Amino acid sequence: MPTCWIIEQGDYSDYRVVGIFTTRENAERALKFIKHNNNHYDTSEITERQLDPCIAELNTGLQQFVIRIDHGQGSTKTLVEESTALEASDYHYKLRSIYFVFARDQDHALKIATERHAQYLATKEGTSPCPTGATPICRF
């Protein structure tokens, strides 16, 4: 998927996008310029973002679902209806994991989240089937 690099500054009500760039090198060059000519209290950072996120999935008729899996024995899976995320992603916390997935229906969404959770648990415990050097799909 094509990506872009964004320079962001500030937090909350002071948050702003300073620029959007086609290459990381361009973003880094602009960031050096900003830091040289700007006050040092503003934090600026570069983030990589996917262009046209979720459009391919939506064009094929998929919907987004949010699945929460509570950790522990007999972990429970809960389908959460509301979502505004534009990407499939995983978030892991001490007591639960949350999976944003694109799927045909609820059963398909639960299957995808269950598989991603199994991958997370295997990666966490060091038994991941990922080849050596591969990046796990989980975000810690």
Query: Does residue 134 sit within a domain?
Result: no
Average pLDDT over residues 1-24: 89
Check whether residue 44 and residue 62 sit in a common domain. Answer: no
Q: Report phi then psi at 16, rounded to 5.
A: -155, 150
pTM over 0.85: no
Q: Are strands 16-21 and 44-50 parallel, antiparallel or unpaired?
A: unpaired
Query: Does residue 130 sit within a domain?
Result: no
Tell me which of 7-16, 32-41, 54-63, 122-131 is least confident.
Answer: 122-131
- 73-130 confidence digits (pLDDT tens): 666 777 766 566 777 788 888 888 999 888 998 899 899 998 999 898 888 776 555 4
Check whether residue 64 and residue 119 sit in a common domain. Answer: yes
**First CA to last CA across the chain, in angstroms?**
22
Looking at residue 43, what DSSP letter applies? -
- 43-72 confidence digits (pLDDT tens): 788 999 888 878 888 888 888 889 888 887
pLDDT at 42: 65
Q: Report phi then psi at 66, rounded to 5.
A: -120, 125
CB 42 within 8 A of CB 9: yes
Q: Which residue type does 71 have?
A: H
Question: Is 31 or 56 the better-scoring residue by pLDDT?
Answer: 31
Check whether residue 62 and residue 39 sit in a common domain. Answer: no
Q: Which two tokens stand for residue 85?
A: 């995320």
Check whether residue 60 and residue 110 sit in a common domain. Answer: yes
Which residue segment(s) compose the domain that 74 sits in? 55-124
Check whether residue 64 and residue 113 sit in a common domain. Answer: yes
